[in-house]
Amino acid sequence: MLTTVASAIRAVSTERDEFALRHNALTHPYTLESNVLLERQAARESNARSYPRRIPLALKRAHGIYVEDVEGRVFIDCLAGAGTLALGHNHPVVIEAIQQVLKDGLPLHTLDLTTPIKDRFIQDLFDVLPPEFARDAKVQFCGPTGADAVEAALKLVKTATGRGTMLAFHGAYHGMTQGALHLMGSLGPKRPLNSILQGVQFLPYPYDYRCPFGLGGEAGIQAGLRYIETVLNDPEGGVPQPAGMIFEAIQGEGGVIPAPDTWVRGIRKLTTQANVPLIVDEVQSGFGRTGKMFAFEHAGITPDAVALSKAIGGSLPLSVIVYRGELDQWGPGAHAGTFRGNQMAMAAGSATIRFIRAESLHEHAGKVGQRLVNGLKQLQGDFPQIGDVRGRGLMIGVEIIAPEDNQDKAAQPSAAPALASAIQAECLRRGLIIELGGRYGSVVRFLPPLIITERQIDHVLEIFTAALQVASRPQ
């Protein structure tokens, strides 16, 4: 397993020291302290910047699961570009692929003109898609973000069906462009735009820990499906037949909420019966992240369209939609983007896809992810502040609650965003980068590279435990 990973990745007890020592002898191009760079960033960059507010680091170099800041501090990166870095930072096969493109003098920018690299990338992509989906599928290269793939999917199904309304879900996240924002469950980013609900009907997502029907378990799943069936079929329900439905098989930014397989299969059945195209957003969950190559495979369904980005470019910007050939009814130029021909990203993406397959990293992610979940659930017994531990593969969330506010067993647990932020800060002080998400930002998220080892998982647990102990102490 992982035989070609660089030799610096060995035992947890020595990895971080080895990483730092390996670069200390080099001439550092940066001599400024972190606070100087961060102050300049705050002065010059937009108020919309986000990550530096919670993770105030000025990074200098990276390798594998580790990053180093300009002051020489080394951190385990369990954010990994919000899931973009499937193979971690600067993986040898990715670097080799990029260098080969440069060495061969290949065009770096080709719009949607074809090249041998693009042809190989398409073949590699279709080889990892379920055969029944790939058999007659088409691919559209989009602008270099997942949000643009979602925009393309919206245009695709609206063109094919001649309808305008979309169905989306509470807690959804599909990007920050205007069209994608309409599909977002979170109200915060949409309020300033004054066009919150245009053309979108929101539906309940099966969030077992906070079941919208107050039922949970199988009863909650069936109640949700029955409600959606009514929305799709009630002639007096006020919802016109939609152009499509979009959902995440495991919500990421919404709090790492996996949809039960029975619910996903139920959704596929209902949309098929109602002749509503089903779009699955795999921007964050795709390419081995959840223990299978794609998250929808857990339920064994065949979607009508899939939005892909992040890991697909091997750490470089790239996005596509893959969809049933029957939907290919839009005309030339119906969706375009100047940078949809990123040849380096396609080369890096092919290398990443092939390495994931060769090393069975999707299976590895399922195994080590379960190890992390098991460790977190053990902590749950000692820390009542951990309300729920959930996820699939290496897409894991820990919901932080305020146990003192939850004496009423009939009430939903109170979120504890301040405590979650404190845990994140304590993790960072100890050399672990994690992110927050979910309702009120109270879910701690783990998205490490798929190459992470069992020993490294144990190290992550050690740091998280120490941070939880400190952050949970009464102030």
Question: Which pLDDT tens digit goes with each residue over 193-249?
Answer: 665 556 899 999 999 999 999 999 999 999 999 999 999 999 998 899 999 999 999
List, in order, residues 6 or more apart from 367 with CB less than 8 Å away.
none
User: How are strands ordered across the β-sheet holding 432-433?
Assistant: 59-63, 66-69, 74-77, 432-433
Dig out the tokens for 457 from the structure: 């998982």
What is the b/e burial string over 85-124, where b = at least 16 CB atoms within 10 angstroms of the residue's CB? bbbbbebebbeebbeebeeeeeeeebeeeeeebbeebbeb
pLDDT digit string, tens, across residues 441-475 = 999 999 999 999 999 999 999 999 999 999 998 87
Return the structure tokens found at 22. Answer: 């390996």
What pLDDT shows up at residue 26? Answer: 34
The dihedral through the CA atoms of 89, 91, 96, 97 has a sign that is negative
Does the pLDDT value for residue 344 go beyond 90?
yes
Instruction: Tell me the sheet residues that pair with 109.
Output: 342
Q: Locate 244 and state its tokens.
A: 């499509």
Model-wide pTM > 0.85: yes
**Sheet containing 443-446, strands listed edge to edge, beginning at the edge strand earlier in sequence:** 386-392, 395-400, 443-446, 435-437
CATH 3.40.640.10 domain residues, the chain: 96-358
> Which comes out higher in pLDDT, residue 57 or 176?
57
Fold of 12-42+55-90+384-471: Aspartate Aminotransferase, domain 1 (3.90.1150)
Q: Would you state the pLDDT for residue 4?
A: 34
Average pLDDT over residues 158-181: 91
Q: What would the mean pLDDT of 368-387 be, rounded to a whole number?
A: 97
Q: Residues 6 or more apart from 177 whose CB is under 8 A from it?
A: 145, 147, 148, 150, 151
What is the rounded CA–CA span in Å between residue 226 and residue 263? Answer: 11
Fold category of 96-358 in CATH: Aspartate Aminotransferase; domain 2 (3.40.640)
Q: What is the pLDDT of residue 22?
A: 46
Q: Where in the chain is the domain with CATH 3.90.1150.10?
A: 12-42+55-90+384-471
13-17, 111-115, 318-322, 424-428, range with the lowest pLDDT: 13-17
The single-letter DSSP state of residue 243 is S
Q: pLDDT value at position 326?
A: 97
pLDDT digits (tens, 9 = 90+) for 252-279: 999 999 999 999 999 999 999 999 999 9
**158: which 2 tokens?**
């609206």
* Tokens at 223, concatenated: 């109640």
3-state helix, strand, coil split of the chain in percent (to 5) is 45, 15, 40
pLDDT of residue 34: 82
